[in-house]
């Protein structure tokens, strides 16, 4: 160890003054305090219910994307390059779970969300969404498999693809994709418009820019809204979505909520109902990044308004309703992460649970892109930060 102590400082250990000035001028934190914290050393963050403790539970994750709690309190975490890992409560990250289908890890594509079957305790079935490599292109697919753990190794058995977004498209953008089980046991899958195909979000003959609803074996539920419409894809639940990267079921009503990336100034919170049209790209509050107008305006008969939209956008990802008792003031509230607008957002719904009564921005000082948010069995909020080599698993709870 003396070798290290006597070694001269690494030339990159201290950023040059000009670099510091540049970072400060750009409004970027040169060294965010939280990034320095090792696992187990919480930092505090202010909130409307008093200081919160932000504990780094695991580090070194590669673009972590989806988080699901196992019944024993451990977590399944997807990494976008294609690995599924099991993380212990104390932050030990497992070797990759074997048997995960190959993914196209490009742009926004790769291994995306993970969800446990409602009957996981018996079936051991887990569900994954991912950008599936297809001939000359890729498309969002859903696979399921049985999680088997033996002698410290984990693998997926009997892996089968139960849904394929059609058509596939080239390019690496707007795959969606979140998985949410409804109370009736059906599975919602949120899908993106693949960017280059955005006009197809209005077309019932494909899965582009849709939310779909399938049975856990991939079959079509008997009461899907377009099941009996000629030419329509029977899996479709709602249409006119751009890129939905957050979805959750309201525990008070059992209804689906989604949050989607808009173009500039057009992020949207929606409550997608069967057969309804959420407008993209005909109506939107966003503009193209070039500044160009999109579609026809902001409202049109037959198209739904968002529950809320954000201008400027913050690039929402992950969505969770809070039902715990650790932070009782926040019971029933909705949480979402922000990527470009590095933050955690809390939304209190109105009493009818159809609109947003209050918005609070949390963790703004952390400077982290937040990819997913979930409630843990301990009543804390658990977050994944988006970084290609040092994504972190954070636990958020009231400070002692
Ligand atoms: Ca919309």
Could you tell me the pTM of the whole model? Answer: 0.90
Show Cβ contacts of residue 289 under 8 Å, excluding neighbours closer than 6 positions: 263, 264
Ligand 1 centroid from CA 204, angstroms: 16
Cα separation of 109 and 177, whole Å?
Answer: 10
Does the pLDDT at position 156 exceed 50? Answer: yes
Tokens of 380: 């804390």
Ligand 1 centroid from CA 233, angstroms: 20
Ligand 1 centroid from CA 374, angstroms: 24
Cα separation of 384 and 373, whole Å?
Answer: 7
Cα separation of 119 and 132, whole Å?
Answer: 26
Domain ranges of the chain: 40-365+387-398
Asked if residue 115 lies in contact with residue 179, where contact means CB atoms within 8 angstroms, the answer is yes
Averaged over 59-74, what is the pLDDT? 98
Show Cβ contacts of residue 107 under 8 Å, excluding neighbours closer than 6 positions: 171, 172, 173
What average pLDDT is seen over the chain?
91
Residue 282, burial from CB neighbour count under 10 angstroms (0-12, 13-18, 19+): middle
Q: What is the pLDDT of residue 26?
A: 43
The CA-based diameter of the chain, rounded to the nearest angstrom, is 76
Q: What is the pLDDT of residue 36?
A: 39
Token match 């979000």: residue? 201
Look at residue 366 and give its three-state secondary structure. Answer: helix
Look at residue 35 and give its three-state secondary structure. Answer: helix
Instruction: Give yes or no for a cis peptide into 68 (omega within 30° of 0).
Output: no
- To 5 degrees, how large is the angle CA 282–CA 287–CA 291? 135
Task: Report the candidate in 263, 246, 279 with the shortest Cα–Cα distance to residue 312.
Answer: 263
Task: Report the candidate in 160, 198, 192, 155 with the shortest Cα–Cα distance to residue 177.
Answer: 192
pLDDT, tens digit, 9 for 90 and up, residues 14-49: 344 444 444 444 444 433 333 334 566 799 999 999
Ligand 1 centroid from CA 311, angstroms: 13
Tokens of 202: 């209005």
Ligand 1 centroid from CA 291, angstroms: 18
- To 5 degrees, how large is the angle CA 185–CA 189–CA 190? 145
Q: What is the pLDDT of residue 40?
A: 60
Q: What is the CATH number of domain 40-365+387-398?
A: 2.120.10.30
Ligand 1 centroid from CA 255, angstroms: 18
Ligand 1 centroid from CA 241, angstroms: 6
> Which residues face 141 on adjacent strands?
130, 164
pLDDT, tens digit, 9 for 90 and up, residues 255-283: 999 999 999 999 999 999 999 999 999 99
Active site residue ranges: 174
Cα separation of 203 and 79, whole Å?
Answer: 32
- Are β-strands 267-270 and 308-310 bridged in parallel, bridged antiparallel, or unpaired? antiparallel
CA distances to 199, 211, 277, 390 from 271, rounded to whole Å, are 22, 11, 11, 33
Residues 35/36/38/42 CA torsion (nearest 10 deg): -70
pLDDT, tens digit, 9 for 90 and up, residues 303-350: 999 999 999 999 999 999 999 999 999 999 999 999 999 999 999 999
């Amino acid at each position: 160890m003396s070798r290290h102590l006597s070694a001269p400082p690494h030339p990159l250990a201290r950023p040059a003054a000009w670099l510091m000035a540049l970072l400060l001028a750009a409004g970027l934190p040169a060294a965010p305090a939280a990034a320095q914290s090792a696992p187990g050393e919480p930092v505090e963050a202010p909130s409307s219910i008093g200081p919160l403790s932000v504990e780094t539970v695991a580090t070194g994750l590669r673009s972590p994307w989806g988080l699901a709690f196992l019944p024993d309190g451990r977590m399944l975490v997807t990494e976008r390059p294609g690995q599924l890992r099991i993380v212990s409560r104390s932050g030990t990250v497992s070797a990759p779970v074997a048997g995960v289908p190959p993914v196209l890890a490009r742009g926004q594509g790769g291994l995306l969300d993970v969800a446990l079957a409602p009957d996981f305790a018996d079936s051991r079935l887990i569900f994954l969404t991912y950008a599936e490599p297809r001939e000359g292109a890729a498309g969002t697919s859903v696979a399921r498999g049985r999680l088997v753990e033996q002698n410290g190794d984990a693998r997926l058995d009997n892996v089968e693809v139960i849904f394929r977004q059609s058509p596939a498209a080239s390019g690496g953008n707007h795959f969606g994709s979140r998985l949410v089980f409804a109370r009736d046991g059906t599975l919602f899958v949120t899908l993106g418009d693949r960017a280059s195909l955005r006009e197809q979000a209005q077309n019932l003959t494909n899965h582009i820019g849709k939310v779909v609803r399938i049975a856990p074996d991939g079959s079509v539920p008997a009461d899907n809204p377009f099941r009996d419409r000629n030419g329509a894809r029977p899996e479709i639940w709602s249409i006119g979505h751009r890129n939905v990267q957050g979805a959750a079921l309201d525990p008070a009503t059992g209804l689906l909520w989604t949050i989607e990336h808009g173009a500039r100034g057009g992020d949207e919170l929606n409550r997608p109902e069967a057969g309804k049209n959420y407008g993209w790209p005909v109506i939107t509050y966003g503009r193209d990044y070039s500044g160009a107008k999109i579609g026809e305006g902001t409202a049109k008969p037959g198209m739904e308004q968002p529950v809320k939209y954000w201008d400027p956008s913050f690039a929402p990802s992950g969505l969770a309703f809070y039902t715990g008792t650790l932070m009782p003031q926040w019971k029933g509230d909705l949480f979402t992460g922000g990527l470009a607008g590095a933050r955690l957002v809390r939304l209190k719904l109105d009493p009818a649970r159809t609109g947003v009564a209050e918005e609070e921005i949390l963790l703004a000082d952390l400077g982290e892109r937040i990819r997913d948010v979930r409630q843990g069995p301990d009543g804390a909020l658990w977050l994944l930060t988006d970084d290609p080599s040092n994504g972190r698993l954070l636990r958020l709870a009231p400070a002692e």
